[in-house]
Structure 1
Amino acid sequence: MSIDADKYGDPYTRTGSPTGHDTERPSAALGGPDSSQAAARLLEMTANETEKWRSDARSEAAAIVAEAHQESAALGQAAREEAERLVTSARDEAAKTTNDARVEADRVREETIAFRSSHDEEIARLQQVATEHRQRLRNHLTEMLDQVDSTPGVTDR
């Protein structure tokens, strides 16, 4: 029976009762009083089955969500581990490159020092040769001047 049976003209509602909710349904229309109980039982079973399906669907959805959370956490952890591995690898490579650059700089510095040292030695040797040559030239010129001065008949100007 409908709550608004008075409004919509439910043929099984007696409008003569003070509440308007008394019903007299012909038993022949539904097959008797047993069929009303059977229909009620069928509706109850359907409601129970529907509730079970809803419960199963909620459980399945919760399991899917939980699995998705676990998978997401695992993927996140794997991504963090991979990022850490890449960072460590990059740091190691940077340290190796820096060390290689330092070794090369030290090698170049040593070569430059050796090159400069050999040039400094060569400059010192050449300066010594120049000093020796200057001294010889002086001595030679002094000897030549002494010879010129000792030669008879040379007049002073």
Structure 2
Amino acid sequence: MHTLKYLTAYPEQLRTQVSGLIAQDRLGDTLRQRYPAPHGIRTDRALYDYVQDLKDEYLRQAAPVSKVAFDSKIQVVQHALGLHTAISRVQGGRLKAKHEIRIASLFRDAPLPFLRMIAVHELAHLKEKEHDKAFYKLCCWMEPAYHQLEFDVRLYLTWLDLAGARLWNAEPAPLPR
């Protein structure tokens, strides 16, 4: 049985099912069936616009986000798919904070639901700093399928570890309007 390092917190039954998919060489096909094509967001500007639209829809009163970018330096090994940072600076007699969101560049070629899950996760940190019940409640409010998508992202990371190749190299799916 493979060490399923991204799935250690899940029940044994689920890990056994995933191991079965791996043994039958069906994990990649299963993910491709659920998510047939990658998104079309290729530039940092398009990513910023996408995340800003989510923020405007769900977190209008939250602090502004000054930068959103794909980041090739984020390593999944460090247990990060994205990062939210707040940089505080003294400006005159006031303290100003700039919020930045960085998303691992491996998600440039992933399906839109995966990107959305990560963006929602990082946006939720604008309101909730800790990964507690309130944080996950906010994530689920912004993306009702949040927990399923998080699990599927973990399946994708498992696939990347095993196969060493990305699943989606086809033309990107059109963005929803």
TM (norm. structure 2) is 0.20
Larger radius of gyration: 1
TM (norm. structure 1) is 0.22
- Structure with the bigger RCO (C-alpha within 8 Å, sep 6+) is 2
Structure with greater helix share of residues = 1
